[in-house]
Amino acid sequence: MEKPYILHMFTPSKNVSPFDVNMAFDAGYQAVIPYTDLGLDQVASYTQDAIFSRGPTGVRRTGIFLGGRDIGVAYDMMDIARKAMVPHFEVSVFADPSGAFTTAAAMIASVEHQLKKQFDVGLEGRQVVLLGGTGPVGSAAAVLASSAGARVRVASHVGLARARIAAETINARYNATTEPADMSDVTAINALLADAEVLLGTAKAGVQVASAAQLQGCVNLKVAADLNAVPPAGIAGIALGDQGAPLVCGASGAVGIGALAIGNIKYQVMHGLFEHMLHAERAVYLDFRDAFVFARERVATL
């Protein structure tokens, strides 16, 4: 009798995400077990508990998923889990805290696709502005855009100090090159929007970070993408299902990408990464860079 596919879900949070649980089951895992309030000091022992009981064959049917809300903590957990592995007893590990890695990958891949499709350019050299970009998704998106060669500015409506902390953390941990930006007053944000070629709305649900009037000053804008699925739109004029639809506000020829369009790609990417873990002959370690590879493949079919 073959051993079942088991996924152990580690999270420092109080609960695991029902979304993540559903995705794991739908991808083919037969048992999904949550471990909550997990500290970094527990990750190594829990990892070894998960691997030694199954034998060299069973480990191929065993996986670890890392959740939570902090992408830095998730990275630390992955590092610890990797170091805790033992030859012949190594299992696959997938990190996606708050869904940030797969969401950011879907967003940046969608933007890159529209830049090439509509303007015959890539992300390299583009002026990218993240509005409300200090959270998990914004941070992951900043790293991906920076690694693709864009000039990335991370903006916070709280003020420049918050943006500076986020940018410095991103740069130090992921070897990225991002800059802080202030969107706490009208003059600062208008100057920021005037330079933007790519505008990314990654603020919390229900918060509008760019109004129709402000977008009129986006004279260089090519692509705007918004993650906000709760009215009002984070970036004015972008409908939920837009995938390269003309943007009424802003520069002539600019296009928008909506939350549901990005979410559809995110869903496919997350499903694909879980399946990759299930069928891999050797252990894999998956983060937002792997998610970006999958996302690029998915958007290429649009």
Domains of the chain, CATH where assigned:
6-95 (3.40.50.10280), 103-262 (3.40.50.720)
Bridging pattern class, strands 178-182 and 223-226: unpaired
Q: What is the mean pLDDT of residues 115-128?
A: 97
Taking residues 85-114, what's their average pLDDT? 96
User: pLDDT higher for 142 or 252?
Assistant: 142
Distance between CA atoms of 191 and 184, rounded to whole angstroms?
A: 12
DSSP conformation letters of 65-113: EE-SS-HHHHHHHHHHHHHH--TT---EEEE-GGGHHHHHHHHHHHHHH
- Is residue 187 within 8 Å of 211, Cβ to Cβ? no
Residues found in the chain: 302
- For range 90-118, the mean pLDDT: 97
Q: Which residues pair with 201 in a beta bridge?
A: 131, 226
pLDDT tens, residue by residue, 139-164:
999 999 999 999 999 998 888 899 99
- Distance CA(272)–CA(113), nearest Å, equals 19
- Cα–Cα distance, 151 to 174 (Å, whole number): 15
Helical (H) or strand (E) element with 244: strand 243-246
Higher pLDDT, 212 or 150: 150
Residues 218-244 pLDDT 10s: 899 999 999 998 888 899 999 999 999
Task: Name every residue whose Cβ is closer than 8 Å to that of residue 232 and which is 6 or more positions away in sequence.
Answer: 206, 208
CB atoms closer than 10 angstroms to residue 87: 6
Mean pLDDT, the chain, integer: 93
Residue 250, pLDDT > 70, answer no
Confidence of residue 1 (pLDDT cuts 50, 70, 90): low
Omega prior to 232 cis, within 30 of 0: yes
- In whole angstroms, give the CA distance from residue 22 to residue 40: 25
Asked whether residue 31 carries a pLDDT value surpassing 90, the answer given is: yes
